[in-house]
Structure 1
């Protein structure tokens, strides 16, 4: 097909679209009020399911929101209004909460089932740009999601509005995760097939690196350790004794602090500079627990030891999160001991 547009600066157009959608998100951020908090409380206190409903693009957004809620600890499913009007409302119970989505608030198919939903005793939360619409009037809790304009050239195709709906849905899900203290173990339980879930379900020794570790012996000089640190590309050197028992570590941060403290003597023994009794992971330890230790202590690399304290590997934050395997170019484990 031939381009009939007067513009062909596609990157600039894309940036304009993103700027418009960002503008919409900023507007919705400013609209958030206590009604949002009321909606979170209603959904958190729900002993049934959060049933999301909507038509067209809002319905597609609703399917995503329902999936996100379900995968983060809030049982949820999507109900199409037309199917609901033809018998599927029988799936609902009075302990459920409805999340109805419509930008205009005037979607006929959706508004047609709201009176019946109210008669079932369910709580109705709606997400709309028009807080005085029929849908808002028929709802118990109204979340305003109004963007200044759509991002499309004619201002009609749902773009900024659906992005904002999706973002508010994410905000609801994250607030509910916080409410329920939904953690990594919970995530792992609901994501056994996902790559992150599989990684967090594994033990650290399944992900750690075992060869070419950046290591020096406990009698090495600071200069020797710096050479390994520089070539290892990991930002950490493990210091071990003759039996490869972990005695300490030297990190980039340790070096920076040492430089700032005064004269920097590279001939000093590494034992005077290294961090003693460093954080470490144990063979067989859950990757999820190791990730917690890393985050709580702002550490990106941990040495891994066995029951005797012998260094057997190292694990990087990226190994746990699946950002790609690192390649250690440091010297071998035994080569630098002594």
Structure 2
């Protein structure tokens, strides 16, 4: 049985989910016009609002900037006290407001229109001053706020944010903005590393354990131990990879026999080792390890020559996991 706090949380989530789901009914030709205006904009996208809508506007600016659409934030109150100079001739202005009737909005809209800039309104009142005077209106009307008093902006600000995300994602797809582009704008932190860090950046920090096919069991043990990677590669006389021996293989071998002295590397190797190109993304190495339930991969170049190992610990150290 849920507590009153849990019931309140569920109610809030349900109200906001319903508000978001209803947005699809407002996606029409106006959305296409907004996308076209932004794509054909010769300047920047200036996004403005007041109160909670201003905070949402800042989030939309951040999302657009990180996905290839240059944008900047202008607070509606500051705009009418000097910041209007931020808007240049070819800029498109997006204004967010739930009511579309704020005093600051009513002052701001005519000034922008007189300058000849296109205005896109994201508002929750189709009959409002903002909706009627904008060049393009994107409807984010909600039937009810999640606030029990139907006062605090909750469902309405969520709807604004989702409409902003819809614009950003659509622009990404139309502009062919891919993961490589995303990486250019997110070079820092763990997210950046997942997008640009490659196997080549990591494997060189490790040893390069290897033995020949006729190496003794003792040499195999020493190679695994010295490499500190839990494995060693087995090479033939032409230095081609013929297999891998892991510390797990050694343990399983001892479960079967104690007579290991006569064994050679070729007798105990695993002939189908998992490999990865040194140019692959580090996150691809992680996916391959997870898929095969292993902790290391042999790193090779295009001809398949042995270069070294990448280990799960390397990925943990760099914050890929």
Give the TM-score taking structure 2 as reference length: 0.71
Give, in whole Å, the separation in 2 of the partners of 1:247 and 1:27: 59
Three-state SS of the structure 2 residue aligned to 1:104 is coil
Give the aligned length.
270
Q: Deviations over 1:231-290 (max 9, x none)?
A: xxxxxx9996547845699xxxxxxxxxxxxxxxxxxx976xx69xx87322xx263xx7
Deviation of the 1:64 alpha carbon: 0.8
1:310 aligned residue: 306
Deviation of the 1:182 alpha carbon: 1.5
Written as runs of structure 1 = structure 2, the 5 A alignment for 1:187-202 is: 187-202=182-197
Written as runs of structure 1 = structure 2, the 5 A alignment for 1:225-236 is: none
Written as runs of structure 1 = structure 2, the 5 A alignment for 1:23-42 is: 23-42=18-37
Among candidates 150, 154, 166, match of residue 145 of structure 2: 150
Bigger Rg over Cα: 2
Deviation of the 1:59 alpha carbon: 0.6
1:109 aligned residue: 104
Give the TM-score taking structure 1 as reference length: 0.68
Whose relative contact order is higher, 1 or 2, with alpha carbons under 8 Å and at least 6 apart? 1
1:90 aligned residue: 85
Give, in whole Å, the separation in 2 of the partners of 1:38 and 1:67: 22
Q: Deviations over 1:117-168 (max 9, x none)?
A: 0111111101111122110111011111122211111111111111111111
| C-alpha distance 280-159 of structure 1, shift in aligned 2 (>3 A) | same
Three-state SS of the structure 1 residue aligned to 2:121 is strand
Deviation of the 1:32 alpha carbon: 1.4
- Aligned-residue CA RMSD in angstroms? 3.8
Give, in whole Å, the separation in 1 of the partners of 2:242 and 2:91: 57
Three-state SS of the structure 2 residue aligned to 1:62 is helix
Matched, 1:204 2:199: yes
Deviation of the 1:323 alpha carbon: 5.3
Among candidates 180, 185, 192, match of residue 185 of structure 1: 180
1:231 aligned residue: none
Three-state SS of the structure 1 residue aligned to 2:61 is helix
Give, in whole Å, the separation in 2 of the partners of 1:179 and 1:238: 47
1:170 aligned residue: 165
Unaligned runs of 5+ in 2: 214-230, 245-268
Give, in whole Å, the separation in 2 of the partners of 1:39 and 1:240: 60
Deviation of the 1:81 alpha carbon: 1.3
Give, in whole Å, the separation in 2 of the partners of 1:127 and 1:107: 14
Q: Which structure has the highest helix share of the two?
A: 2
| C-alpha distance 291-48 of structure 1, shift in aligned 2 (>3 A) | farther
Give, in whole Å, the separation in 2 of the partners of 1:164 and 1:209: 48
| C-alpha distance 94-246 of structure 1, shift in aligned 2 (>3 A) | farther
Give, in whole Å, the separation in 2 of the partners of 1:204 and 1:91: 44
Deviation of the 1:15 alpha carbon: 1.4
Unaligned runs of 5+ in 1: 1-6, 219-236, 250-268, 325-338
Three-state SS of the structure 1 residue aligned to 2:191 is helix
